[in-house]
Structure 1
Amino acid sequence: MQTVAAAVTMVRDDAFFLNAWLRHYGGLFGRENCYVVNHGRGDIVNDLAKGCNIIGIPGDPHKNFDMKRWRLLNNLVAGLKSYYSHVIVGDVDELVVIDPAKGQNLLEYLAVTPEKQVITPLGLEVIHRIDQEPDPVTDRIIGPRRHVRVAPHYSKPCIVSTGTKIARGGHYTQYAKLHAPDELYLLHLKFCDFSAYAEVMDRRNATTAEVGGDVKDTAIGRHWFAEARGEDRAVFEAFAGLDMVEGFDMTPYRRKMRRSFRPRGDTGFYCFDRPDYKQQFILPERFVGVV
Structure 2
Amino acid sequence: MKAAAVTYIFNEDINLAIWIDHYGREFGRENLFIIDSGSDQKPSVNLDGINVINLPNISFDDANKSFALSALQNTLTRYYDCTVISDCDEILVANPQKYTDLKDYIQNGLSDYATAIGLNIVHAIDREPPVNYSQPILSQRRYAIFNSFETKTLISQSPLNWSPGLHYTKNPQKIDPDLFNFHLKLFDYDTAMKRHAKNKKNIWQNEQEMAKSHHHTPLEVFFSSTFKPVLDMLSDGILDPFDFDEKINKLNESIRKDDEGFFYFNIEEYKFVEIPEYFKNSIQYFSDM
* CA distance in 2: counterparts of 1:103 and 1:111, whole angstroms: 10
1:165 matched to which residue of 2? 161
Describe the superposition over 1:64-102 as per-residue Cα deviations: whole angstroms up to 9, x where unpaired: x21111111110000001111211111111111111111
2:51 matched to which residue of 1? 53
* CA distance in 2: counterparts of 1:212 and 1:95, whole angstroms: 28
* CA distance in 1: counterparts of 2:151 and 2:46, whole angstroms: 28
SS at match of 1:67: helix
* CA distance in 2: counterparts of 1:16 and 1:46, whole angstroms: 8
Contact kept? 1:153, 1:274, Cα under 8 Å: no
Q: For 1:91-240, what aligned pairs fall within 5 Å after superposition?
A: 91-113=87-109, 117-139=112-134, 140-175=136-171, 177-208=172-203, 214-216=207-209, 222-227=213-218, 230=221, 232=223, 235-240=226-231
SS at match of 2:33: strand
The answer to whether residue 266 in structure 2 is matched with residue 273 in structure 1 is yes
Describe the superposition over 1:89-146 as per-residue Cα deviations: whole angstroms up to 9, x where unpaired: 111111111111113211111023455x331001011111001111423143211112
User: Offset at 1:231?
Assistant: 5.3
Q: Which of 1, 6, 9 lines up with 2:7 in the alignment?
A: 9
User: Offset at 1:13?
Assistant: 2.1
Describe the superposition over 1:135-167 as per-residue Cα deviations: whole angstroms up to 9, x where unpaired: 423143211112001100000111122233211
SS at match of 1:101: coil
TM-score by length of 2: 0.88
Query: Against the structure 1 CA distance between its residues 19 and 125, is the aligned structure 2 distance closer, same or farther, given a 3 Å change threshold?
Result: same
Normalized per residue, the structure richer in strand is 2
| Counterpart amino acid of residue 50 in structure 1 | D
Contact kept? 2:5, 2:32, Cα under 8 Å: yes
| Counterpart amino acid of residue 279 in structure 2 | F
Query: Against the structure 1 CA distance between its residues 45 and 231, is the aligned structure 2 distance closer, same or farther, given a 3 Å change threshold?
Result: closer
* CA distance in 1: counterparts of 2:260 and 2:220, whole angstroms: 30
Q: Aligned-residue CA RMSD in angstroms? A: 2.3
Contact kept? 2:31, 2:50, Cα under 8 Å: yes
* CA distance in 1: counterparts of 2:63 and 2:225, whole angstroms: 31
Contact kept? 1:223, 1:229, Cα under 8 Å: no
Report how many residues are paired.
279
| Counterpart amino acid of residue 98 in structure 2 | K
* CA distance in 1: counterparts of 2:269 and 2:248, whole angstroms: 14
Query: Against the structure 1 CA distance between its residues 83 and 135, is the aligned structure 2 distance closer, same or farther, given a 3 Å change threshold?
Result: same
| Counterpart amino acid of residue 222 in structure 1 | S
Contact kept? 1:146, 1:283, Cα under 8 Å: yes
| Counterpart amino acid of residue 260 in structure 1 | S
User: Offset at 1:233?
Assistant: 6.6
TM-score by length of 1: 0.87
2:62 matched to which residue of 1? 66
Contact kept? 2:200, 2:216, Cα under 8 Å: yes
Contact kept? 1:38, 1:45, Cα under 8 Å: no
Query: Against the structure 1 CA distance between its residues 40 and 188, is the aligned structure 2 distance closer, same or farther, given a 3 Å change threshold?
Result: same
Query: Against the structure 1 CA distance between its residues 136 and 206, is the aligned structure 2 distance closer, same or farther, given a 3 Å change threshold?
Result: same
2:75 matched to which residue of 1? 79
**Unaligned 5+ runs, structure 2:** 284-289
SS at match of 1:77: helix
**Unaligned 5+ runs, structure 1:** none
